[in-house]
Copies of this chain bind each other. A is one copy, B any other.
């Protein structure tokens, strides 16, 4: 077969050519595959992708591909081999489609035939995982992922196979696997959860590829085709109206892939469903929301996140290619630049081609509020950015819902990025993904004992306990209330409150980004607790970099280190240094790369400052050795005002160092009636005031007189600034 007849064949058999990503001629707007053979590359990034795919595949074609009896659990040999084989089938299919070279077709078919010979005799996997066992894999989730890849590879070669081979493959593995993943595990298939999405995508894609309309219907509407479950219901419930996914961006990335791949097949086969416009374009929103939840190419590592994951993951590459093919948004090409890689499909080729043609427009990373919950009423994730530039400051504020079992106890937590770096950070998950010696690559015990605990985050910890007693099922019942979000003026701010994390304590936080007349900005954080009883309040600041200076005395533990506490994560912290109670505004400065940062802080009661270092009670070296500042006070109410700023320069190329230290002259707290007034005055004279009314009603109007000036606003909080 040559490339021409391949194209003719597929054009003739267009009805069979089911899965858009797999067959280029199905995709009207994608470039024809034959272009790839022209001598002058118009899509060099795609060519590099294909070249790498070919190199890897050719090695496997030479030595052959083992299809072992399933034995091992996740991370083990048979598990990894079957995972890789699915990608092999997929890649061989893609290359066949792209080049028309029959060796790829025959290779894909031969691997599929091996599976067809083995699969029918397989019972449940010997290492079956709890309620969701697979047959090839210990859990059915992996089986669904296998089928998503394999059926796309098969679809690419199907029209060109002799009928007997196709029939053996379908009968031996594709059909029974699709049956197993649907009728064979109804609870998972009908679940409104990303495991359910992988299952319906696998079954739905197979339905389109094998012309099984009933399977497609089940995938879309649930096993009983009632619409109570299935893909559409998942689209209704798994995303917030703003495209936020309750488990956070790390899991959102993972879930996105089956959503997007199946949606593309729906779009190609049943365009009348307008699936990408479904629920006001929820899938498109979800992709953009995922991109926005990143800094310097990496996702915000909230909840159980592997910190290395970011925009260049395979899932995002598929999403971008498919979305760009759909909407032609040139800013997506800018994100591809960050990825530096495309998928080996016609849509990937189109991305690379348009990128090479200079069609990219800047992707605007922006300040935004992503409401949480299916109805958008379960809190939100707020992002403030000083600009869209790569080195801009960004603050992430997390008054979200719990995010199920992968959620951390970090409501109202903050992250602070600047100059391309994490400045105040989240630990992420305690896990080395798939690294066998590290607990088989699963979550480590320290994920529960440290990473999920409140003290591991930049949140106020009450009485050294974690929020909601560290019980996610309890936590799942409650969401914070967003008090404010404002991103359209000079001053950006967001605020929220949560009364349910601790009995009898209301947590309240406002974060503002306030530009300074002299350039740069203050990031102002007002963290409040309101209670009728005295509590011990800890405000941890997990800062990165090298400590340079503290504006107060610290007594260092120089010859012996002991843990900072005994439980709730505190047992993992070494107590490195302790201050006397601080009764005035104090500060701490540190260095990251070529910039200095200073935190200037104030509280309504004497604060004891601690420096801690992670690593106590870590007998298996599972934790990173990270540092934190912890500010502690004892009182009924707590009012912590923290001002973060970047300053100076540490330029070793030019040998120029400028260290300025804190530019904050004073921070104070007063009251004007039922309004708390937090006043920050810079050495250069400008004055920033955070006004916080006791009345939390969003529509309540407030008027006070401040320094002789009348001030009016609506809602519980506002921030004002005046130059001096």
Binding site for B on A (CB under 8 A): 75, 80, 306, 308-309, 312-314, 341, 432-438, 441, 546-549, 556, 558-563, 574, 576-577, 589, 591, 611, 613, 615-621, 624-625, 627, 650, 652-659, 661
Contact = CB atoms under 8 A, between A and B. Distances in A.
Given A438-B548, A556-B619, A618-B556, A313 B657 contact: no
B313 A655 contact: yes
A50 to B, nearest CB: 16
B655 A559 contact: no
A114 to B, nearest CB: 22
B653 A314 contact: yes
Contacts of A432: 546, 548, 591, 650
Given A433-B657, A441-B657, A621 B313 contact: no
Contacts of A562: 559-560
Among all A-B residue pairs, the 8 with the closest Cβ atoms = A434-B657, A437-B549, A308-B652, A561-B561, A556-B619, A547-B621, A558-B617, A312-B653
Given A437-B548, A611-B621, 16 more contacts: A306-B652, A312-B653, A314-B653, A314-B655, A433-B657, A435-B659, A436-B659, A437-B549, A546-B621, A556-B618, A556-B620, A558-B617, A559-B562, A560-B561, A560-B562, A625-B627
A179 B395 CA distance: 57
Contacts of A658: 80
Give the number of times this chain occurs in the complex, counting copies. Answer: 2
Contacts of A313: 652-653, 655
Contact of A309 (B436, B621, B652): B652
Contacts of A591: 432, 435
Contacts of A438: 548-549
A654 B312 CA distance: 9
A546 B431 CA distance: 12
Contacts of A656: 434
B617 A559 contact: yes
19 contacts: A309-B652, A312-B653, A313-B655, A314-B654, A432-B548, A432-B591, A435-B657, A436-B657, A436-B659, A441-B657, A547-B621, A556-B619, A556-B621, A558-B618, A558-B619, A559-B562, A560-B561, A613-B615, A625-B627
A589 B437 contact: yes
A546 to B, nearest CB: 7
Nearest to A437: B549
A654 to B, nearest CB: 6
A204 to B, nearest CB: 23
Contact of A616 (B558, B617, B661): B558
Nearest to A563: B559
Contact of A435 (B308, B341, B435, B548): B548
A216 B661 CA distance: 45
A421 B589 CA distance: 28
A135 B569 CA distance: 57
Given A432-B591, A433-B657, A624 B561 contact: no
A615 B547 CA distance: 13
Contacts of A650: 432, 435
Given A548-B438, A625-B627, A655 B556 contact: no
A659 B576 CA distance: 35
A560 B435 CA distance: 29
A433 B652 contact: yes
Nearest to A571: B559
Contacts of A547: 621
Contacts of A434: 655-657
A438 B591 CA distance: 11
A548 B622 CA distance: 8
A273 to B, nearest CB: 31
A620 B576 CA distance: 11
Nearest to A315: B655
Contacts of A309: 652
Nearest to A311: B653
